Amino acid sequence: MKKTNTPISETSKAPLNNPQKEEGVFNDPEIHSVKKSKAPLYISIGIVLALVLSYFLIPGVQDFFSEAWSVLTSDDEQRIKNWVGQFGMLGPVVIIIAMVAQMFLLVIPTPLLMVVSVLAYGPIFGSLIILAAVFCASSVGYFLGAYLGPPVVEKILGPKGEKQVESFIADYGFGAVIVTRMAPFLSNDAISFVGGMLRMGYWRFIGATLIGITPLTIFVAWLGENNERLKSGLIWASVISIVLFAAYVWWDKRRKKKKSAAN
């Protein structure tokens, strides 16, 4: 009996659809642009390695961070201004480097660096430094997450933390990044690593980051150059943003439940 070759249809050639990747952060045209060049990865790894190796191998760097911690947590506004001012034009660079370093060394918390920036440079220039520092730190975290993937991100955040943030971003995407940036005491670093790992479009991620951090920065600048007022303001900003987001999550779940019942 003669065999006949049955042509494979175009439909059968098509890859199976993964419903999880059809929407949200997974369905993003910028995903492929992240893969084109590994330069951001090499730059990010170079920055991180330089910071970590310097911290552990060069005694002067450890002394610098110890002094920074002592000064920046002293609640002495004049001492803080004098310490940052000694770096002259490099002062803003020091704040930006510290913002990147705290993702891995956990030496100085992000909210404290925001307060320091406003105290040392005033509401306008201090705010611009905050935005630049958050942009740089978020970009480094994003590209490390995008290229190094789940195994490395899990080691940095821990298995439980990585899964929680992954689920959070997968469910709420753009909004998850915005609310995390608005709440200074939520994990900004985790959202950067996992946002990259899930291949959320870079400019979409950065856009959400800047949308979230800008109101907080304006709020910090409005509070003025008063240490205690700034600290209490950051706490209230966190509480309000978390309450608002919890209300949004409740509304969204209720809306989805009604939609699914109607279908």
pLDDT in tens, 42-62: 666 676 677 777 777 777 777
**pLDDT tens per residue across span 196-245:** 888 788 898 899 899 988 988 888 888 766 667 766 777 787 788 778 77
Domain count, the chain: 1
**pLDDT tens per residue across span 81-114:** 888 888 888 889 888 888 888 776 655 667 778 8
In a domain, 262, yes or no: no
In a domain, 244, yes or no: yes
pLDDT at 58: 74
CA-CA distance, 24 to 172, in Å (whole number)?
Answer: 8
pLDDT at 69: 74
In a domain, 81, yes or no: yes
Pick the most confident of 124-128, 218-222, 247-251. Answer: 124-128
Q: Which residues lie below 8 Å from residue 26, measured CB to CB, with a gap of 6+?
A: 20, 170, 198, 199
**Kind plus residue range of the DSSP H or E element containing 180:** helix 159-182
Residue 10, pLDDT above cutoff 50: no
In a domain, 18, yes or no: no
In a domain, 261, yes or no: no
In a domain, 67, yes or no: yes
142-151 average pLDDT score:
81
CA-CA distance, 156 to 162, in Å (whole number)?
Answer: 9
Average pLDDT across the chain, whole number = 73
134-154 average pLDDT score:
83
CB 145 within 8 A of CB 153: yes
CA-CA distance, 95 to 135, in Å (whole number)?
Answer: 12
CB 34 within 8 A of CB 146: yes
Q: Give the count of beta carbons closer than 10 Å to the beta carbon of residue 161.
A: 16
H-state helical runs in the chain: 10-13, 31-36, 39-57, 59-72, 77-85, 91-105, 110-157, 159-182, 188-197, 202-223, 227-262
In a domain, 216, yes or no: yes
In a domain, 44, yes or no: yes
Residue 113: which domain range? Answer: 31-253
pLDDT at 162: 64
